[in-house]
Amino acid sequence: MGKFETVEVNTDLLIVGGGMAGCGAAVEAAYWAKQHGVKVTLVDKAAIDRSGAVAMGLSAINQYVGLKDGQNTVKDYVDYVRNDLMGITREDLVADIARHVDSSVHLFEKWGLPIWKDEEGNYVHEGRWQLMINGESYKVVVSEAAKNALGIDNIYERVCIVAPLTDGNRVTGAVGFSVREEKFYIFRAKAVLVSMGGAVHVFKPRSSGEGMGRAWYPPWNSGSSAYFTIAAGAEMTCQEVRFIPVRFKDAYGPVGAWFLLFKARATNGLGENYMETRKPELNKWVPYGHVKPCPANLRNWLMLLDVFDGKGPIFMRTEEAIQKIAAGEDDPKKAKKRLKELESEAWEDFLDMTISQAILWAGTNVEPEAKASEIAAAEPYFIGSHSGASGAWVSGPEDLAPEQYFWGYEYMSTVEGLFCAGDASGASSHKFSSGSFTEGRLAAKSAVRYCAEHPEQPAVDPAQAEAMRERILRPMALFEQHKGETTDATINANYIRPKMFMFRLQKIMDEYAGGVTSQFRTSKALLERGLDLIGMLKEDAEKLAAADLHELLRCWENIHRMWQAEAHVRTILFRNETRWPGYYFRSDTPGLDPDWQVFANCRYDPATKEWEMIKRPIESIFPVYSELNGEAGG
Ligand code: SFD
Ligand code: AMP
């Protein structure tokens, strides 16, 4: 690959990923960097106007605490998150984000994001924590602020970050390649902030054939954050806590507005509401089975029990909900007007964030005010910012974190100089778009301080960078070398193309790690077999081949997914219980076990290539009564 130019960039703080967390980091870092004379650079594999999970826009801001208006307290939010995650959460991190998130939302509004207001000028809530927005251009608004703050010369778009550069337990930069030009990039930095989102298409999706590629979370979030931190040797947390969202079937339209704003019910094929008929099941999952709102995974679980019993399809009763709200108007004229408004709000909810669902509705003659729509549990995703929790194990804030959760710099992983935010940081669920942006701000402030306090430029070993260049570009060399050996270049004894590789990974995960096909069930024996197969897949990853730059991107996306998959399988295997039955069910350990009221962490050692599994205690920063151990914590 001699013709690839090598471009070297020297900076102080390198932000990898310009999604919600990356843009928050850029805005905040620019402010503190001026004071400390620190240079900040941001890299994204896409164009940040429309990159990441918010590319299509969103119709709600899901984290707004309303502290100033006295609507809620930080503790209320922490209680909500802890309960939803069945007790497994870093309260210090959740509280830190919750106490700052409102200010981020106010910034979005100042920058031009339209937030719904009622007649008195108050925000219109979707639910207790969620605000309704006209958010089609949400990401454009946020990225414009990031660009203005950093300056366009400090932003590299369409450069895919592949791996970290390290010097022992210290990050020294990152390497990647342009997805448009034959350029290999070496970024040298004093600190790196990882915000490359979560992972999609690790598991076989429900969509296949004509719908292939369609997923709820964005397919281009492919596990780069997890790979980057694992490869650097960082301790990871909650790698078992995948997220399975219930979504409108086949186009993955969100359900939040229907359940919370329109107060719709979901019923099975017999017209029964599983949240009522299956209520006794919740007693098996106390104390979390009895909290309000019912945790997302337990809502899934009650629905899945109906599906397993052959009581599907499951319908979101949109028609019932809309008619009920309209019927609340006393005057028939007003009721008719209200019906029209609700109808357009229902369509906008999808048009603002999941356009394919609106297209599917149109294509299948759905009138939501007249006809119910099917919903289903999607395939698993890795996302630390919604009701999942996977990500790196990071230091908490000094004033809130218990001693063992604080190591000098907030949001720094266990690798020196390596910071994480958004989906990249774990055990602080329910950050969503606004909380991820906020966490990016908090992590960036801390990372700038790190740069100021470590002014020496870390050394980058040229041999390490050269070896990485050879390895990263190898799929193109391999293709060139062998492509002429078969009449169809997709089939070749000497290489595997990225699409086939992805199918193999997805099949392993689907069948052995509890995907859709295995009805989210797995066991020790299945997981061990899955690990064997991942081991063989890893060997074959050395034979990935790319016909062009686009396929080179696909090769590395799939290697990143594979590492996320391995961390996941190892951690489900480690946690000897079933804690989130609606996310995955260990048939050999079918219930909650009080001994597992702990974090299940893992760490890959890049030097020895061995994995270590680690239990870390859960420490509450607020007094909490736990029915599991019958005593007050604090
Ligand atoms: O309700 C590389 N989310 C919702 N959040 C809300 O607040 N309200 C909603 O209404 C939400 N809904 C929703 C949501 C997401 C999606 C897809 C849908 C609906 C359909 C969640 C938020 O969007 C999410 O929490 C945040 O965006 C997470 O932020 P962050 O920064 O962790 O991830 P990102 O924004 O996806 O950005 C990742 C960036 O990394 C880049 N990238 N760059 C360089 N090299 C690589 N190798 C890279 N790999 C990735 C990406 O390009 C991107 O810019 S609701 O339905 O849940
Ligand atoms: P979703 O569209 O499922 O991503 O949900 C958007 C927001 O609403 C998230 O904060 C969810 O946790 C919340 N949510 C969705 N459905 C329910 C429900 N039935 N009860 C309580 N909260 C919900």
How far is residue 19's CA from residue 109's CA, in Å, rounded to a whole number?
Answer: 18
519-547 pLDDT, tens digit each: 999 999 999 999 999 999 999 999 999 99
Residue pLDDT, tens place only, 329-352: 888 898 888 889 989 999 999 999
pLDDT of residue 2: 57
Beta bridge partners of 314: 375
Q: d(Cα 138, Cα 55) in Å, to the nearest integer?
A: 8
User: One of 91, 92, 126, 416 is an active-site residue; which one?
Assistant: 126
Give pTM, 2 decimals: 0.97
Label residue 632 by pLDDT band (50, 70, 90).
very low
Q: Helix %, strand %, coil % for the chain, to 5?
A: 40, 20, 40
- Closest residue by CA, ligand 2 atom 21: 293
Q: What's the pLDDT score for residue 405?
A: 98
Secondary structure of 14-78 as H, E, C letters:
EEECCCHHHHHHHHHHHHHHHHHCCCEEEECCCCHHHCCCCCCCEEEECCCCCCCCCCCCHHHHH
Structure confidence at residue 211 as a pLDDT band (50, 70, 90) = confident
Predicted pLDDT at 210: 80
* Nearest atom within ligand 2 for CA of residue 430: 10
532 is catalytic: no
Query: Beta partners for 42?
Result: 15, 155
Indicate whether 624 pLDDT > 90.
Answer: no
| Ligand 2 centroid distance, CA of 258 (Å) | 9
CA dihedral 9, 15, 18, 19 (to 10 degrees): 160
What is the per-residue pLDDT across 414-440, written as a single tens digit (0 to 9) for each? 999 999 999 999 999 999 999 999 999
Mean pLDDT computed over 178-199: 98
**Cβ of 293 below 6 Å from ligand 2:** yes
Phi, psi of 244 (to 5 degrees): -115, 105
Domain boundaries, the chain: 246-377, 463-607
- The CATH topology of domain 463-607 is Methane Monooxygenase Hydroxylase; Chain G, domain 1 (1.20.58)
- Closest residue CA from atom 23 of ligand 2: 256
Q: What is the pLDDT of residue 430?
A: 98
Atom of ligand 1 nearest to the CA of 256: 1
Query: What pLDDT digit, counting tens, does each position of 463-511 carry?
Result: 999 999 999 999 999 999 999 999 999 999 999 999 999 999 999 999 9
CA neighbor of 339 nearest in space, from 350, 356, 353, 325: 325
Residue nearest to atom 13 of ligand 2 (CA): 256
| CATH 3.90.700.10 fits domain 246-377 | yes
Segment 403-415, tens digit of pLDDT: 999 999 999 999 9
